[in-house]
């Protein structure tokens, strides 16, 4: 009974401030647990809706909720979004003056702030000096995996957060992360000294993100494919992750030369330059950012429609977090991954020796397996997060273009024989050139043009050879000698292919699958939640009413103008999903306007006139 009224109150707050009609998945349970004073550990994918889990409890209870977050950009973004919804929130951080920070602490003291965002360093510095009577409703530790050595993003300043428990034994702690492996999870609970925590693990599925992976098809094709994505989502934005600064710069330059709106972001730029890029991206002044991994963590931008990985990422956790930045609004989005032999070699060389070496190697291997799989990619991903599904997803490249298999014994024998005839002293690229009979000078000078298999693979293009070699690697016929110039070696299993004792089945390389960018069909309804994953409003859905599209463009223009005036990113005003619903339902009164998903009381008051007027005008 008591729980019921709590949930009712929580729901009323969700409607009033956020304009959402119902809680997702486990949100209600989590809110009720933390509000009753229980420590919580929440595992939810990026974009899953973690923030609501502590924001609503903060509103339900007296006092201030203190939120720990690793990045200033992230804090500012959240605070802006909360204020836009009419919730008093603030951040204390090193980019603000002492006076400003002092002023904020005074309003916290007067009970005027419901959510206070801080970095861990700042919190540990300040907490000992807080007045005895300061009322703290809860501590929320966002990106909690940063506390764990086992996580993929360890931050020493998080490690000291364990003293919160000693300083504030009565205040419940909620730790939230998108990293789900068991080791990290247990480590978080231990390091934060959580007391008998309630553990909530949501589905990690993000069904609206289309997954595609393919062997690097070569620079030109790659740029062409990226260009197609950029054009397909001309009104929205995307991120291209690169392994190095140099490749980020180069990719950006090449795309710019093709006329696209692109910026770069990496650690080699000054903080000012980086801030500017981030600002331009968030505010919609630049469409695409080519970035090294540092980019995106602080970005809550909801209309990122595609995330491209130019190279294989180091591990699945990081990869999943990065692609999770696409399609936070639930509308169709794309994740496109390119990978190559060279990536695997480079990434291996990055892995330091020491305690974590084995784990990092293992993580890289799992990432590689994901890239090379010929099973439903979403199933592979979800099983990595210990989530098992009983059906294929229908929204990954493997599901959409199932590979056909064929007897590849002869192909494999040609490659294996060439490797042996070159004394196992060539890498993948050279091997392909030898098989295709290239007259590269180093091939001639080393006499590889005289081996029997020189030119024996002329009939297949290099991209196809690359794909088959990767499959042979995955099947265990060859291995890469990472300690010896990444030369290819034939395993004992591979030798059994040469003697004819083992046959090889390969997945047919389809040009259709490998040479075009993923296509934008509408994904299915979310299997688990039944949530529609497309509001039928993506620029790619052919069934969408053209007039709605035109109105949507108009509404986006209005949103942009308002955002400029207020100096906030457009998505802080309304996300795309809300605008889509608006374009479809065309509210003309204040009541109709307020019933749209994502429009709470504050935003209704502030914007209903602007938008209903624009809709009226458009309809005439
Ligand atoms: P995370 O922190 O887990 O990455 P967020 O908290 O930023 O995710 O939430 C992702 C998006 O989902 C946000 O736009 C948020 O407003 C929205 N959202 C969260 N909960 C709900 C809900 N119950 N109904 C509708 N939208 C929601
Ligand atoms: Zn699939």
| Overall average pLDDT of the 387-392 stretch | 80
pLDDT of residue 391: 84
501 secondary structure, DSSP code: S
Give the pLDDT band of residue 1 (cuts 50, 70, 90): very low
| Overall average pLDDT of the 302-324 stretch | 91
pLDDT of residue 518: 55
Write the DSSP assignment of 141-153 as a string of letters.
Answer: ETTGGGG-TTSSS
**Cβ count near 432 (within 10 Å):** 24
> What angle (nearest 5°) sits at the alpha carbon of residue 236, between those of residues 234 and 237?
105
State in Å: Cα 526 to ligand 2 middle: 13
State in Å: Cα 50 to ligand 2 middle: 26
pLDDT of residue 510: 66
Give the pLDDT band of residue 539 (cuts 50, 70, 90): very low
pTM for the model stands at 0.77
Weakest-pLDDT range from 271-285, 407-421, 543-557:
543-557
Write the DSSP assignment of 358-406 as a string of letters.
Answer: HHHHHHHHHHHHHHH--S-HHHHHHHHTT---SS--SSBHHHHSPPPEE
Residue range(s) occupied by CATH 3.40.50.300 in the chain: 2-201, 209-400
**Cβ count near 339 (within 10 Å):** 23
pLDDT of residue 543: 42
State in Å: Cα 206 to ligand 1 middle: 13
Pocket of ligand 1 (CB under 6 A): 20, 23-24, 27, 44, 46-52, 300, 302, 328, 575
The pLDDT tens digits for 483-538 are 777 789 999 999 999 999 999 988 887 665 555 555 544 444 434 333 333 334 54
Asked if pLDDT for residue 165 goes beyond 60, the answer is yes
> What angle (nearest 5°) sits at the alpha carbon of residue 9, between those of residues 8 and 11?
65
Secondary-structure breakdown of the chain: helix, strand, coil percentages, each rounded to the nearest 5: 45, 15, 40
Residue range(s) occupied by CATH 1.10.10.10 in the chain: 405-507
Q: How far is CA 430 from the centre of its chain?
A: 35
Residue with tokens 């591990």: 315
Give the pLDDT band of residue 383 (cuts 50, 70, 90): confident
Give the pLDDT band of residue 541 (cuts 50, 70, 90): very low
pLDDT above 90 covers what percent of the chain?
58
pLDDT of residue 467: 84
Alpha-carbon radius of gyration of the chain: 26
Indicate which ligand has the atom closest to the C-alpha of 296.
1
List the end-to-end C-alpha distance of the chain, in Å, as a whole number.
51
Residue 69 CA to residue 118 CA, distance in Å, equals 6
Higher pLDDT, 490 or 298: 490
CATH 1.10.10.10 fits 405-507, yes or no: yes
Asked if pLDDT for residue 48 goes beyond 50, the answer is yes
161 secondary structure, DSSP code: G
CA dihedral 217→221→222→223, nearest 10 degrees, is: 160
Asked if pLDDT for residue 352 goes beyond 90, the answer is no
The pLDDT tens digits for 240-260 are 999 889 999 999 999 999 999
Task: Tell me which residue has its CA closest to atom 15 in ligand 1.
Answer: 49
pLDDT of residue 33: 97
Task: Tell me which residue has its CA closest to atom 25 in ligand 1.
Answer: 20
Which tokens hold the place of 90? 């603030």
Task: Tell me which residue has its CA closest to atom 1 in ligand 1.
Answer: 47
Residue range(s) occupied by CATH 1.10.150.80 in the chain: 544-619
pLDDT of residue 4: 67
Residue 482 near residue 348, CB atoms below 8 Å = yes
Residue 610 CA to residue 597 CA, distance in Å, equals 17
Residue 506 CA to residue 407 CA, distance in Å, equals 6
Choosing among 1.10.260.40, 1.10.150.80, 1.10.10.10, 2.60.200.30, the CATH entry for 544-619 is: 1.10.150.80
Higher pLDDT, 601 or 329: 601
pLDDT of residue 514: 53
Pocket residue to mutate for ligand 1, from 10, 29, 44, 49, most atoms within 8 A of Cβ? 49
pLDDT of residue 74: 84
List of E strands, 472-552: 478-481, 487-490, 505-507
Q: How far is CA 610 from the centre of its chain?
A: 33
Asked if pLDDT for residue 261 goes beyond 90, the answer is yes
Choosing among 3.40.50.300, 3.30.70.1450, 3.40.50.720, 3.90.580.10, the CATH entry for 209-400 is: 3.40.50.300
Averaged confidence pLDDT in the chain: 88
| Overall average pLDDT of the 596-612 stretch | 97
Query: Measured from the CA of 27, which atom of ligand 1 is nearest?
Result: 23
Asked if pLDDT for residue 67 goes beyond 70, the answer is yes
pLDDT of residue 517: 54
pLDDT of residue 531: 38
State in Å: Cα 52 to ligand 1 middle: 7
| Overall average pLDDT of the 66-76 stretch | 89
**Cβ count near 227 (within 10 Å):** 16
The pLDDT tens digits for 418-467 are 999 999 999 998 999 999 999 899 999 999 998 888 999 999 998 889 88
- Domain at 2-201, CATH class: alpha beta
Residue 50 near residue 141, CB atoms below 8 Å = no
Ligand 2 is an ion; residues with CB less than 5 A from it:
376, 378, 392-393, 396, 399
Read off φ and ψ for residue 129, nearest 5 degrees: -100, 0
């Amino acid at each position: 009974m008591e729980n019921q009224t709590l949930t009712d109150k929580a729901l009323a707050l969700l409607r009033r401030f956020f304009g959402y009609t119902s809680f997702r998945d486990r949100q209600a349970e989590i809110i009720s647990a933390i509000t009753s004073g229980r420590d919580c550990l929440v595992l939810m994918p990026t974009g899953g809706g973690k923030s609501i889990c502590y924001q609503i409890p903060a509103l339900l209870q007296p006092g201030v909720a203190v939120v720990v977050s690793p990045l200033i950009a992230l804090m500012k973004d959240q605070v802006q979004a909360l204020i836009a919804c009419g919730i008093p929130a603030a951040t204390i951080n090193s980019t603000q003056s002492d006076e400003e920070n002092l002023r904020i602490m005074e309003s916290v003291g007067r009970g005027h702030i419901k959510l206070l965002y801080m970095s861990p360093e700042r919190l540990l510095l300040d907490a000992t000096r807080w007045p005895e009577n300061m009322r703290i409703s809860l501590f929320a530790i966002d990106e909690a995996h940063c506390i764990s050595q086992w996580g993929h993003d360890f931050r020493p300043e998080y490690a000291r957060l364990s003293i919160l428990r000693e300083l504030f034994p009565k205040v419940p702690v909620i730790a939230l992360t998108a990293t789900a492996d068991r080791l990290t999870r247990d480590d978080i609970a231990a390091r934060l000294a959580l007391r008998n925590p309630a553990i909530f693990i949501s589905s990690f599925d993000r069904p609206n993100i289309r997954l595609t992976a393919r062997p690097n098809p070569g620079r030109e094709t790659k740029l062409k494919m990226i260009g197609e994505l950029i054009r397909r989502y001309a009104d929205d934005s995307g991120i291209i992750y690169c392994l190095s600064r140099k490749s980020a710069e180069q990719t950006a330059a090449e795309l710019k030369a093709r006329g696209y709106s692109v910026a770069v972001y990496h650690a080699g730029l000054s903080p000012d330059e980086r801030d500017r890029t981030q600002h331009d991206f968030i505010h919609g002044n630049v469409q695409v950012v080519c970035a090294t991994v540092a980019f995106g963590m602080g970005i809550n931008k909801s209309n990122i429609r595609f995330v491209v990985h130019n190279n294989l990422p180091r591990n699945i956790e990081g990869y999943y977090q990065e692609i999770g930045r696409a399609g936070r609004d639930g509308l169709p989005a794309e994740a496109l991954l390119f990978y190559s032999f060279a990536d695997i070699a480079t990434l291996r060389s990055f892995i330091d020796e020491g305690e974590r070496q084995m784990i990092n190697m293992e993580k890289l291997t799992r990432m590689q397996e994901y890239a090379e799989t010929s099973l439903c990619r979403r199933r592979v991903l979800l099983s990595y997060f210990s989530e098992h599904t009983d059906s294929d997803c229908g929204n990954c490249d493997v599901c959409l273009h199932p590979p056909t298999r064929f007897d590849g014994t002869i192909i494999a024998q040609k490659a294996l024989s060439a490797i042996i005839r070159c004394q196992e002293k060539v890498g993948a690229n050279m091997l392909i050139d030898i098989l295709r009979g290239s007259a590269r000078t180093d091939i001639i000078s080393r006499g590889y043009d005289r081996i029997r298999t020189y030119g024996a693979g002329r009939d297949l293009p290099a991209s196809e050879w690359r794909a088959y070699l990767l499959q042979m690697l995955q099947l265990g016929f060859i291995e890469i000698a990472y300690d010896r110039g990444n030369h290819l070696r034939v395993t004992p299993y591979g030798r059994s292919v040469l003697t004819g004792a083992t046959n090889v089945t390969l997945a047919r390389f389809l040009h259709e699958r490998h040479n075009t960018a993923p296509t934008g069909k509408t994904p299915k309804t979310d299997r688990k939640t039944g949530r529609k994953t497309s509001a039928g409003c993506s620029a790619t859905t052919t069934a969408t009413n053209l007039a709605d599209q035109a109105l949507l463009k108009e509404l986006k223009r209005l949103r942009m103008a308002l955002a400029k005036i207020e100096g906030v990113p457009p998505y802080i005003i309304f996300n795309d999903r809300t605008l889509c619903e608006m374009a479809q339902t065309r509210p003309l009164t204040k009541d109709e306007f307020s019933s749209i998903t994502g429009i709470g009381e504050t935003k209704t008051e502030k914007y209903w006139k602007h938008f209903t007027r624009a809709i009226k005008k458009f309809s005439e």
